[in-house]
Amino acid sequence: MKLSVVVYAVVMLLLLSWMLGVFQPKSDNLTYSQIVELFQQEQVKSFQVNDHTITLYLHEPYDGKTTLRSQLADPEGFQRDFQALFLEQQSAGTLESYDFVAGKAMSPYDFVLPIVLAGGVLLILWMVLASRASRSNPMSDFGKARTTLGGSQKKVTFQDVAGVDEEKAELQEVVDFLRNPKKFEDMGARIPHGILLAGAPGTGKTLLAKAVAGESNAAFLAISGSDFMEMYVGVGASRVRDLFQQARKVAPAIIFIDEIDAVGRKRGTGLGGGHDEREQTLNQMLVEMDGFGRAEGVIVLAATNRPDILDPALLRPGRFDRQIYIAPPDSKGREEILKIHAAGKRLDESVNLHTVAMATTGFTGADLSNLVNEAAITAARENRPVINMKDLNDAMMKILAGPEKRSRVRLEKDRRLTAIHEAGHAVAMYHLPEHDPVHQISIIPRGHALGLTWTQPREDSDHLTRNQMYQQIVGLLGGRVAEALFLKDISTGASNDIDRASKLARDMVARYGMCESLGTVSYTSGEEVFIGRDYEKTKSYSEKVAGTIDDEVKAIIDRAYGECEGYLREDAQKLKQVVEFLLEHETMTGEQFAQCMEGKPIGEAGDTSLFDSYQQ
């Protein structure tokens, strides 16, 4: 940009110089003495003085010219000093004529035309530079909505979306209305003005919106909620107006706002200079969606994973008529999703996607896509032509716990401490009938963990009972109890276990009403972690109740600790066998662990897989 300005400036100066030169008479730069000498030698045939310019017409060429032009500093003095000489030469016939036109006014063309031309050049230059600046300077389009038009990338349809059949049916109605509105209008129905897609990250909200764009013949404009906000006041509201204006021009149209919570958060006290700007942006969006300026023929799709913090005015019917919650898929949905992501990839005959789907409880669509991709990367890295079950197992372990760090140098005492800690978890969990079964124990560092005790649920479940939560606490305390019993000391390795156990106990008491002394009452409804609504956390209960909550939480932890200690004392010898096995082999399968706990000989350590328990 700077180079272009310099080039244009140079061109402008050259043009101005040329124009000024064209309208100025060329001078031969004669000195006063040379002019006088030409008269004295009777070389001048005739001459004319116009203001301060003298033009000489000669009898013979002087420097190859018969016409010379030069400047006179004092035309009146020149005429006064040589008037007698002029008359004498005129009488002798050597000087035919002469003329003095001192102070002659310039022609209008001599004055106006250069100014007009110079002004035209400057105007053209300014227009060119302004046009280039508007294209390259982001300041010039602050008020424009930065939308992405659908169809610019690979087309996504409902066939590319699996595991959300009910959600697809809801959105299919929108597509049908856009394709055949008369069918609905004849029944007196109107299409929803807005549909909010809510759910955990990775469940397919954005993918569903892309599928609507792919299925519908309507124009599709996509924008992120954060794109509305800038450092300048009024930009957000301006972009909202521009967005809906663009949609009206191409109606029927679909607007997709991803992460709408960035701009649609509840209006409240707020902190920071951007708060008022965000509210102005939200207010403008409310007006555009269902106000005096509501856009006809425009449907708004929005996605968020925090619908609880959105402003109620945004969620009311007439703006977002429908709220579709997208949950993580069940085993059937996971299998359908795996089939989509496995298409086009070379799978070994041993790969059973049903087994993988059963073992991936809690995985979202994004998790499953990542799982298949990581397995493909593993197979390619090992130069194998197909993806096998081991690749999928390694990929799942990597996603959930991080990559193995076998090369990490560890002291023997640290390895033993880790083995005792993990064995304590496993032995405690073995005695808990409602706890997920142990699948694998390892003292190989992965990610941030120095070791892990891996459990897997037997089946999908939507609820946790009080006994299940309590038994999870007992299992979490197994590592700390084992350290205290067999090392006569405790370490920082149990910090995460203690945090999770304490949170479970506090949720049992204060959130889920599972404490008899406090009754079926929730004591967390007054807490609000989002500053946009309340300035800070507030408690809706007294200090006495707070003390009771703390006492009940400690009582649950103490009872679980005592129960866990009893299990580990009872099976101390078996725990030591598990520790020695881990120190020798580093990894113990769930089957080998069960053999040890049942007093059977421990079999050879083969390849362990997260899918073993689900093989048909």
Please give the positions annotated as active site.
Answer: 422
Report the DSSP beta bridge partners of residue 442. 452, 587
Contact 511, 474 (CB under 8 A): no
Contact 261, 306 (CB under 8 A): yes
Residue 555 counted as an annotated binding residue: no
Residue 435 counted as an annotated binding residue: no
Residue 202 counted as an annotated binding residue: yes
The three-state secondary structure class of 266 is coil
Residue 461: closest CA among 610, 331, 611, 365: 331
What whole-number distance in Å separates Cα of residue 525 and Cα of residue 523?
6
Residue 199 counted as an annotated binding residue: yes
What whole-number distance in Å separates Cα of residue 379 and Cα of residue 184?
51
Segments in 519-589 forming alpha helices (H): 543-570, 572-585
194: enclosing H helix or E strand? strand 194-199
Contact 265, 302 (CB under 8 A): no
Residue 421 counted as an annotated binding residue: yes
Contact 12, 125 (CB under 8 A): yes
Segments in 311-411 forming alpha helices (H): 312-315, 331-342, 353-359, 365-381, 389-401
Residue 360 counted as an annotated binding residue: no
Contact 81, 74 (CB under 8 A): no
b/e string for 390-403 if b means 16 or more Cβ within 10 A?
A: bbbbbbbbbbbbee
Residue 425 counted as an annotated binding residue: yes
**All residues at 6 or more sequence positions from 420 whose CB lies less than 8 Å from its CB, including other chains:** 482, 483, 486, 487, 575, 579
Contact 451, 442 (CB under 8 A): yes
Half-sphere exposure of 195 toward its Cβ, with a 13 Å CA cutoff?
26
Tokens of 369: 């896509």
Contact 255, 300 (CB under 8 A): yes
Binding site listing: 199-206, 421, 425, 497
Question: What residues are designated binding site for ATP?
Answer: 199-206
Binding residues for Zn(2+) are 421, 425, 497
